[in-house]
Amino acid sequence: MTGMPLRPLAALTDEELARRYRNGLDPEGALMELYERYRTVTYAFLRRRIGIPDIAAEENQELYVTVVEHLKDFREESSFRTWLFQIAHHRLSHLRRRWGVHVDERTEEVPEELWGQIAAPSSDNPERQAGRNEAARALRRCLAALPEIERAVVFGQYFSGMTLKLLSKELKLANPSGARALLIAAQRKLRRCLEQAGVDAAAAIGSLEEAS
């Protein structure tokens, strides 16, 4: 007499799939079902907080490597989803330590001494001065909207006098030219943001280069 047929993987709960993995009942199938259920969700979560698609994709891959390593230890003290996102938060904490910046979807306050360096040059013409002040305010807003890691590269390059090679090393970027790629991405976003604000993007970004 044969046993009851196994239920389709898609019909199982997350926790039932985790149990099947632990018990060796088609573990590869159970793992792939969990991966397909959550891979786009966790990628979106990481991308919102990191702001850079390529790095978010890498972290998403590493997240599931960790899941494979530790799924046998999942004891259902929480839901699988909660357990999975605890690991994702741990990945973000790892990035925070590695980059030395806060990785989160919410823009954090930038030290005032850095903002103080983005000041409009003085002019005897009140109308021209007002325009310069507005451009400086727009530049601050656009810088604040950048992902943390890109903003760290901009401030490091333009205000701390660090070379891109040194920034790549200090931020522990895997690619030796990583800081250059981040700077180019940041400049592109700044131009778009400034143009949307009605500000001369070339002049505003040029003011950053003059500060370096």
Report how far residue 183's alpha carbon sits from residue 66's, in angstroms, rounded to the nearest whole number: 30
Instruction: Produce one character per residue of 103-116: b if its CB has 16 or more CB atoms within 10 Å, e if not.
Output: beeeeeeeeeebee
With 0.75 as the threshold, say if the pTM is over it. no
Domain boundaries of the chain, sorted by first residue: 10-99, 112-211
As a CATH number, domain 10-99 is: 1.10.1740.10
Q: Do domains 10-99 and 112-211 have the same CATH topology?
A: no
Please give the Cα distance from 211 to 161 (Å, whole number): 9
pLDDT score recorded for residue 107: 40
3-state secondary structure of 23: coil
- 146: closest CA among 188, 91, 196, 111? 188
Where would I find the H helices in the chain? 14-22, 27-50, 53-70, 80-99, 112-115, 126-145, 148-158, 164-170, 178-196, 201-211
Model pLDDT for residues 105-128, shown as the tens digit of each residue: 444 444 444 444 455 455 555 666
In a structure prediction context, what are the per-residue pLDDT tens digits for the chain, which is 212 residues long?
344 456 788 889 999 999 999 999 889 999 999 999 999 999 988 887 777 777 788 889 999 999 999 999 888 888 899 899 889 888 887 776 665 555 554 444 444 444 444 554 555 556 665 656 777 777 877 887 788 788 888 887 877 677 888 888 877 777 777 888 888 998 899 888 888 878 777 777 766 665 55
What's the pLDDT at 210? 57
CATH for 112-211, options being 1.10.10.10, 3.40.50.970, 2.40.30.60, 1.10.630.10: 1.10.10.10
Are 140 and 204 in contact, with CB atoms under 8 Å apart?
no
What pLDDT score was predicted for residue 14? 93
Q: Which of 12, 49, 53, 57 is nearest to 34 (CA)?
A: 12
What is the identity of the amino acid at 84?
L
Judge contact between 60 and 43, C-beta under 8 A.
yes
